[in-house]
Chain A
Amino acid sequence: EPEVTQTPSHQVTQMGQEVILRCVPISNHLYFYWYRQILGQKVEFLVSFYNNEISEKSEIFDDQFSVERPDGSNFTLKIRSTKLEDSAMYFCASAGEAGQLQPQHFGDGTRLSIL
């Protein structure tokens, strides 16, 4: 069964540094998402992406965050200047035709640790 893959599985970064989290969604999917989960807390929506642009973003997704689909297969989340509070699991998800409420398929996440 096709799956969403995320790399790296664990990223350790110094505060203030830029970090890029990478995702390879399922190949025929059209809708892409990033979520995060701070340890012990709920999974939180960050951003959705469709047709090469952001379709919705949450309050968490401020100017320090950006997303890109650079080559038609990868989907990346960039944090420009990381803060301690950015430490979390980051999950990428993809879905087919949302008009039919296709389920979202999640990767196993990248654990981001900010020192």
Chain B
Amino acid sequence: DAKTTQPNSMESNEEEPVHLPCNHSTISGTDYIHWYRQLPSQGPEYVIHGLTSNVNNRMASLAIAEDRKSSTLILHRATLRDAAVYYCILIRRGGSNYKLTFGKGTLLTVNP
């Protein structure tokens, strides 16, 4: 499976935008880019996913590089509730199980 690389931690201020990077230089053409997050003492939570085009939903935006070797999760206005570990995960299309392989993720701290 292709590997992802994320910074261990990032810090942001409340109500400012946050850009969380993910490198996946060995991504294959059939790999989807998924983002999950884990708030303290909770289970992981789906955030967004994409293949080639940028994606927006009510939680965040996903910007995917043209060569697909990197992506960026964008939180447009961080809130204290966005403090969590963010995971960038590749899932190969065509499988049947879509198990999630979590790395260490990026611990996002949001300052008031």
**Could you list which residues of chain A lie within 8 angstroms of chain B, going by C-beta atoms?**
4, 31, 33, 35, 42-45, 48, 50, 55-56, 91, 93, 95, 98, 101, 103-109
Contacts and interface: CB of A to CB of B under 8 A. Distances in A.
Interface of B: 32, 34, 38, 41-46, 49, 87, 91, 93, 95-104
- Name the prevailing secondary structure of the A interface residues: strand
Contacts of A48: 97, 99
A104 B91 CA distance: 12
Q: Which 8 A-B pairs have the closest CB atoms?
A: A106-B43, A103-B46, A43-B102, A48-B97, A45-B99, A91-B43, A56-B97, A98-B98
Given A45-B101, A50-B96, A95-B98, A101 B32 contact: yes
Contacts of B104: 42
Contacts of A105: 46
A29 B109 CA distance: 33
Contacts of B43: 4, 91, 93, 106-109
A31 B44 contact: no
A98 B49 CA distance: 14
A104 B46 contact: yes
A4 B42 CA distance: 12
A60 B39 CA distance: 25
Contact of B98 (A91, A101, A106, A108): A101
A31 B103 CA distance: 22
Contacts of B38: 43
A45 B49 contact: no
A56 B102 contact: no
A45 to B, nearest CB: 5
A26 B97 CA distance: 17
Contacts of A56: 97, 99
